[in-house]
Amino acid sequence: MLKTKTVCRLLFYCVMICILTGCWDREEIEDKSYVIGLGLDRSSQKGKIKVTMLLANPEVGSIQGGGGSTEKPREIISFDANDFIAAKATANAVISRKVTYELLKIFVVSEDFARDKTFPSTFYDITKDKEIHQNSYIAVSKEKASQYFIHNRPKMETRPHKYYQFMINHGIENGLIPDSTLFRYLQTTERGTDLFLAMYTTAEKQKHREIKQEDEYMAGELNATGELDDTQFIGSAVFKNGVMIDKLNGQETRVINILDDTTNIKEILVNFPNPFSDNNKQFSARVSKTKNNKVRMNLKGPKPMILITVPLEYEILSNPSMVNFLKEKNRQILKHEIIKDVEGLFEKVLKKSQTQLKGVPYPLSFNSRRYFGTIQQYKKFNWAKSYIHADIQVKADIQIIDYGKIIKKPIKVGE
């Protein structure tokens, strides 16, 4: 009996010791300095790059910090390095806490460096660091990334991780910027059949800005005034084989996002021409995409034929001509105008991808693979080359689910 008790005690002590060992490598949040944004620029030194780190203070705005900490919410450092992996150790020469990429949210690459042929070999280091998650985002800045982070000073959301989270999520939902994760960049580059879109941003205002349609701007072109930050996220940078080659504005980016079924685009607000009047007042509508596109291809002939059916639901939000939509004739006129506008815009963007970009900026090649029996047949077809000469048609499947409040024209005095 005594021997049994002794054995039980020993087992109990062994279990308790094993439990206690789970805390041997614990680390406090306050002991680390979290890099939220990482900027990459071309360096003046041969064989090096300029690394800019946007570091967040975890105590600012937290419950532990009391919400009223007098410390700065962020810190920015820039220096030349061989790569951004080993740069973490170099940063500790000026940063007191341990630098980590565990919460890295966004890579900001200057347009100048993104167009460099050496950029892919440098950027592929993201696959070698376990702290870097492939759901982080890549963005291209008009100016140097080091200047971008310094000039980017939000007025309301001072915590950098929340600022980028809100800006990116809302931009993707509205379709004005692409869902440019590291995973998509790596997947597209290694596939070699399609183009990759990265979100475009800047903290500099363009000097001579013209007023355009709501979604036709590039970052820096929107003439917004008041007490606000100058940083803008709109449009996209086009990458081919890992290198930037061109840009798309917000409208063109939105079209590609609607065509891409893998993008989490939600309700978007748009304007379209008024078929009932010759003035410049346009209709506004809320557009929803609730179903995937239907893609049919005929790849057997000398010229590939591609038919894309895009299902969209419209909710009319404004009626500048005060048209009575109780009449079926007016409803048909409006629907015809929407179909004409959507099909014309989509075919224009796809035509630009064939003639100017020389590639499709979303994974349309996935839909073509089912038309081939073997991988060898697909490779022989050469999708990247065949797409340029394809005959592409877009069919808009429009459903107007709400015409808005039916109102009557006001009666003029004296009539």
Buried b (16+ CB within 10 A) or exposed e, 311-327: bbbbbbeebeeebebee
Angle at 371 between CA 368 and CA 373, to 5 degrees: 125
Instruction: Tell me, yes or no, whether 197 and 81 share the same domain.
Output: yes
Instruction: Tell me, yes or no, whether 146 and 235 share the same domain.
Output: yes
Instruction: Tell me, yes or no, whether 220 and 117 share the same domain.
Output: yes
- Which of 118, 35, 106, 42 is CA-nearest to residue 80? 42
What rounded mean pLDDT belongs to the chain? Answer: 87
Instruction: Tell me, yes or no, whether 322 and 380 share the same domain.
Output: yes
Q: Rounded CA gap, 71 and 96, in Å?
A: 14
Q: Residue for token digits 């041997």? A: 24
Q: How many domains does the chain have?
A: 2
> pTM value?
0.86
212 touches 190 (CB < 8 A): no
Q: How far does the chain reach from its first CA to its final CA, in angstroms?
A: 111
Q: Rounded CA gap, 120 and 124, in Å?
A: 6
Q: Rounded CA gap, 382 and 299, in Å?
A: 11
Q: What is the pLDDT of residues 29-67, one digit of tens each?
A: 677 888 999 999 999 888 899 999 999 877 665 545 445
Residue 248 lies in a domain: yes
Helices (H), 271-311: none
Per-residue tokens: 186: 């790596």
DSSP state of 355: I
Q: Is 41 left (phi over 0), alpha (psi -120 to 50) or beta?
A: beta
Instruction: Tell me, yes or no, whether 181 and 51 share the same domain.
Output: yes
Q: What is the pLDDT of residues 199-225, one digit of tens each?
A: 999 998 877 777 777 788 888 888 888
> For 133-138, what is the mean pLDDT?
93
The residue out of 218, 238, 265 marking a domain boundary is 265
Q: Rounded CA gap, 209 and 224, in Å?
A: 10
Helix (H) or strand (E) holding 119: helix 119-123
Asked if pLDDT for residue 195 goes beyond 80, the answer is: yes
Is 98 in a helix, a strand, or coil?
strand
- Could you list the residue range(s) of the whole structural domain that residue 277 is in? 267-409
List beta partners, residue 39. Answer: 52, 108
The residue out of 265, 282, 314 marking a domain boundary is 265
What pLDDT is attached to residue 237? 96
What pLDDT is attached to residue 294? 95
The residue out of 265, 287, 316 marking a domain boundary is 265
Per-residue tokens: 377: 């047949």
Instruction: Tell me, yes or no, whether 303 and 224 share the same domain.
Output: no
Q: Select the more confidently predicted residue: 324 or 52.
A: 52
Instruction: Tell me, yes or no, whether 88 and 236 share the same domain.
Output: yes
Instruction: Tell me, yes or no, whether 105 and 240 share the same domain.
Output: yes
Instruction: Tell me, yes or no, whether 290 and 403 share the same domain.
Output: yes
Distances, alpha carbon 306 to alpha carbons 165, 179, 298, in Å: 37, 25, 7
> For 343-365, what is the mean pLDDT?
94
Pair type for strands 32-42 and 294-298: unpaired
